[in-house]
Amino acid sequence: MSDAAPRTETEPEIRTETPPAEVPSAETPAEVPAGTPAEDGPAAPAPLDIPRTPTGDARVDALLERLGDAGHLPTEGHIEVYEDVHRGLRDALTALDARPGPPAPPSTYGSRS
């Protein structure tokens, strides 16, 4: 059995829940934290200042340095830089495959009768 007295229809229900947090409406502007770009336009380009470790290959190092150019361009200009760097890195890898290596050993299985 419950110790609470039964409620009558005229007694208001007592709630112990806390009301939900107030959600700002579209009419009430929410506070924007400091350092957050304004909603009226994109943020200005800014370099990421990511440190690059030299690879030892001057051609590859120059291409990786070129990635830093993207930080000074608007977003629309990034694709051109990325494609240029990708093309250069692909060419550098292809050049590694084209280098002559030691001659292959002669095949002993070539002329069986």
Binned at pLDDT 50, 70 and 90, residue 34 comes out as low
List the domain boundaries for the chain: 58-97
Model pTM score: 0.47
Stretch 84-92: mean pLDDT, rounded? Answer: 95
- Nearest Cα neighbor of 89 from 113, 112, 55 is 55
Judge whether residue 101 has pLDDT over 90. Answer: no
70: exposed, middle or buried (Cβ count in 10 Å: 0-12, 13-18, 19+)? buried
Report how far residue 70's alpha carbon sits from residue 77's, in angstroms, rounded to the nearest whole number. Answer: 7
